[in-house]
Structure 1
Amino acid sequence: MANATTGTAAPDVGGETPPSPSREVMFDLLGNSRRRRVLRHLLDEREITLTDLSARIAAWENDTSVPDLSSRQRKQVYSSLYQTHIPRLSEHGIVAYDADDRIVRLTGDADRLRRFLDVDGPERGHFSYQWSRYFLWTAVVGSAAIAGNWLGTTPATHLGTGELYGLLTVTFMMLSVSFVMAVEGQKLLGVGD
């Protein structure tokens, strides 16, 4: 507990800041929704009083606004952050808590935290939009080929409806695997922390 209130992450012998927590430690730390919420707030606002931070988190957890919180709701979250969550994050050099001013500061690598929290940038939304087009056009072309086969108007009349369904299914499976690898491939393969 005393370590959380010292102010900043303690430098090691060489005067350098401690190394970033391992993936396992990060997953353990982020396994708690309250700690994730703390870090999301600190990614937006790098420095905040513990009182304001706890009020915002309490409002989110109770699905209300900060002015409508009861003192019990505020106190419960404040105590939890002060006694448990801020010390855990501080112990690993992710945040620093200044006990005199009661200010919590983000000290960890913001880009790395964003990756762990999966805070998307605008480019990822555009990327997903492109994939939705691929799925749409595959469905449209496949459905048109099957409908044309039923009506006898497609050039591929030598293929039966069952074969066309099979071809469409294989195409969707390949497209799905490609999508998962493009979007989640680095996570699945453990490439790039």
Structure 2
Amino acid sequence: MGKTGVGGLLERGSPEEEAGISKDEVFDLMSNHRRRYAIHHCKQVDGPVSLSDLAEQVAAWEKDKEISELRSAERKTVYTSLQQTHLPRLDRVGIVTYENGEVELTDQIERLDIYLDVVPENSIPWGVYYLGLSLLSSLVIVGLWAGVLPTEAIPTLVYPTIIIAAFAVSATYHTLTNRRYRFENLDEPL
């Protein structure tokens, strides 16, 4: 669902509306660990996966065991739950196709990737980091305008070059860190 505009009309063109999934529905879908685990495994496999293989991996993650250590009952419980509840729901909203015991992610998963990024606990938010870098850069520029920073020993263009380099290095690090912490790149799902 899109946002409600004046007179209760639905605003067209929001990414969630185009995907046919509201933000609330995305969070509801992702609130269940079995659905997250299933999506995580499908992203790691990058192609169709059999329901039995998917159920084994999800059960192994749930029980914190190797697949070979799982009991039949543990596999069956997860298999039945995925088959009857979770995969049909993901299929209805277009996240996966689930046919003939095969599960595969659809292109709609790309629209959910923004909600699947993982931020490490001990890191500062990138927005705060870039705000601080921007404030520091502004202070340097103000210092140059006010004549507080030396420009005789250091050429004036060195300052903006350092600022641009700081942003470039930060953005590169940010991009690489985000790739490392992508949902599908983690060994085990959250």
- Superposed displacement of residue 117, structure 1: 1.8
For 1:103, the equivalent position in structure 2 comes to 102
Query: Is the partner of 1:21 in helix, strand or coil?
Result: coil
Query: Is the partner of 1:84 in helix, strand or coil?
Result: helix
Query: Is the partner of 1:43 in helix, strand or coil?
Result: helix
Residues 1:117 and 2:113 aligned together: no
Deviations along 1:142-173, whole A, 9 cap, x unmatched? xxxxxxxxxxxxxxxxxxxxxxxxxxxxxxxx
For 1:157, the equivalent position in structure 2 comes to none
For 1:32, the equivalent position in structure 2 comes to 32
- Superposed displacement of residue 27, structure 1: 1.2
For 2:65, the equivalent position in structure 1 comes to 64
Tell me if the contact between 1:36 and 1:117 (Cα under 8 Å) persists in the aligned partners. Answer: no
CA distance in 2, matches of 1:44, 1:115: 17
- Asked which structure has the greater CA Rg, the reply is 1
CA distance in 2, matches of 1:45, 1:126: 29
TM-score (norm 2): 0.51
For 2:91, the equivalent position in structure 1 comes to 90
- Superposed displacement of residue 42, structure 1: 1.5
Counterparts of 1:113-152 in structure 2, within 5 Å, are 113-119=112-118
Paired amino acid for 1:31: S
Q: Which has the higher contact order (CA 8 A, sep 6+)?
A: 1
The 1:110/1:91 distance shift into structure 2, 3 A limit, reads closer
Query: Is the partner of 1:83 in helix, strand or coil?
Result: helix
- Superposed displacement of residue 89, structure 1: 0.4
Paired amino acid for 2:95: I
Paired amino acid for 1:76: T
Specify every segment of 5 or more residues in structure 1 that has no aligned partner in the other structure, as ranges: 1-17, 136-193
- Superposed displacement of residue 111, structure 1: 2.8
- Superposed displacement of residue 108, structure 1: 4.0
Deviations along 1:43-62, whole A, 9 cap, x unmatched? 22232110000000100100
Kindly, what percent of the aligned residue pairs are identical?
Answer: 39
- Superposed displacement of residue 114, structure 1: 2.2
Paired amino acid for 1:106: L
For 1:75, the equivalent position in structure 2 comes to 76
- Superposed displacement of residue 71, structure 1: 0.3
The 1:126/1:28 distance shift into structure 2, 3 A limit, reads closer
CA distance in 2, matches of 1:115, 1:62: 28
CA distance in 2, matches of 1:30, 1:90: 14
Count of residues paired in the alignment = 112
CA distance in 1, matches of 2:42, 2:112: 10
- Superposed displacement of residue 119, structure 1: 4.3
Query: Is the partner of 2:94 in helix, strand or coil?
Result: coil
For 2:54, the equivalent position in structure 1 comes to 53
CA distance in 2, matches of 1:67, 1:22: 39
Query: Is the partner of 2:98 in helix, strand or coil?
Result: strand
- Superposed displacement of residue 74, structure 1: 0.3
CA distance in 1, matches of 2:56, 2:78: 8
CA distance in 2, matches of 1:97, 1:103: 6
- Superposed displacement of residue 127, structure 1: 8.1
- Superposed displacement of residue 31, structure 1: 1.4
Paired amino acid for 1:80: S
CA distance in 1, matches of 2:123, 2:30: 27
Paired amino acid for 2:25: V
